Amino acid sequence: MQSASPDELGALNLPHYTAEEKRKRIFAIVAASSGNLVEWFDFYIYAFGAIYFAPAFFPKSDPTAQLLNTAGVFAAGFLMRPVGGWMFGRIADRQGRKTAMVISVVMMCAGSLLIASLPTYASIGAWAPAFLLMARLLQGLSVGGEYGATATYMSEVALRGQRGFLSSFQYVTLIGGQLLAVLVIVLLQQVMSDEELRAWGWRIPFVIGAFTAVIALLLRRTLHETSTAQTRANKDAGTIRGVLRHHRAAFLTVVGYTAGGSLIFYTFTTYMQKFLVNSAGMSVKTASNVMTVCLFLYMCMQPLFGALSDRIGRRTNMLLFGALGAVATVPILTTLEDVRSPVAAGALILLALAIVSFYTSVSGIVKAELFPAEVRAMGVGLAYAIGNALFGGTAEYVALGLKSLGHESLFYWYVSAMMVVAFFVSLRIPRHPSYLRHDH
């Protein structure tokens, strides 16, 4: 039986929005998600550019070891996410969502500028990878806070009856950030030689990211605040104590399905480009082209699956995600190993991304519906950051590590097992979450 969503339950008494109110709310969604796009572009350009700049920071290694080292730094950035989730969750719940989102984009800009200007190993030796790590830790702190604050803000500002659809634009722009990162790499590949990209061309995307962050800052300063003075003054506002004392089950539920969701998301997005090169034998340019098309179509899927959740319920979306992911992951990755046709590879990746869309399209709203306003940003941000750091951020590192040991297929089963976990954890999601239901 299909479970009704909170929006369906309130369908008979939906608030009447004036044309002006609708316009303001939709603009707020666009402004918040535009900043989200810039933040994730800055974060992902590292993953997609690693093939070119890895030798500049880890020169005394073979290609796989170089990628393993850069993947380790990528994972280290994820380990800062729980700290960012806590810090920005506290700011968002106590000082306001807008304040948290403005600070996070400023920090991301600083991290990108630092990477763009870093000397190489040849210039300063071991200090080069050390400074690279510092920049990624700063960006990890920023992104750790970005998700919770943005997810909370977008869920609160979205029109009732369309919350799944409108909140899905968080992942539209998140994926859009990935897509733009790939497109920038593809464009640079067309106008620069491989030698130029490895020598200095890899710095260009980080410069672009830093400048676009300024635009995001200007957009976010126009946003109106969605939290109230009353909720911000609550003694439990923005505290871990307030989350764990009264909402421990919801917190653990979010950690559980975020672990599987983040792992499979990063497997079929950021890691997939390297997989197509190292395991399927494609050229770097071909792999980049395949991922550009796949990410664009994946981005377009999000509003469709978000709108679906408004009809069948967020819980049903999550159960379909866990079940289909558990069944399909191993066959898809195993088949991809032997696929030489870019078209066939793209079709398989799109199949996987369609399954992932059941989760990503509702990722923010399904978490926000489980927490009250005074601890919503903390509950969403910290729980997401923990699951994401432990499983999403380590996806490439685990995959490349198992490949270097000659046991790549174990990674496929690892992802599939986490989908089983996601399915069972999703059974804990209430059929009719009470929070957000009556918010206007």
* Confidence bin at 274 (pLDDT 50/70/90): confident
Residue 42 has pLDDT above 70, yes or no: yes
Q: What is the pLDDT of residue 394?
A: 82
Q: 206-246, pLDDT tens digit by residue?
A: 999 888 888 888 888 888 888 888 989 888 888 999 999 88
Angstrom distances, CA of residue 124 to CA of 53, 56, 121, 129, 131: 15, 11, 5, 10, 10
The CATH code for residues 21-227+236-426 is 1.20.1250.20
- H or E element: which one contains 235? none
Q: How many CB atoms lie within 10 A of CB 173?
A: 27
**Domain boundary assignment for the chain:** 21-227+236-426
Q: What is the pLDDT of residue 248?
A: 92
Q: What is the pLDDT of residue 358?
A: 96
CB 292, CB 179: distance < 8 Å = yes
What are the two backbone dihedrals, phi and then psi, of residue 166, each rounded to the nearest 5 degrees?
A: -70, -40
* Confidence bin at 14 (pLDDT 50/70/90): low
Residue 434 has pLDDT above 80, yes or no: no
Residue 431 has pLDDT above 70, yes or no: yes
Angstrom distances, CA of residue 58 to CA of 279, 315, 338: 22, 45, 30
Q: Alpha helix locations (H) across 313-408?
A: 314-338, 342-360, 363-368, 376-387, 395-404
Side-chain half-sphere of 12: how many Cα atoms within 13 Å?
1
Mean of all residue pLDDT scores within the chain: 85
Mean pLDDT of 200-210: 90
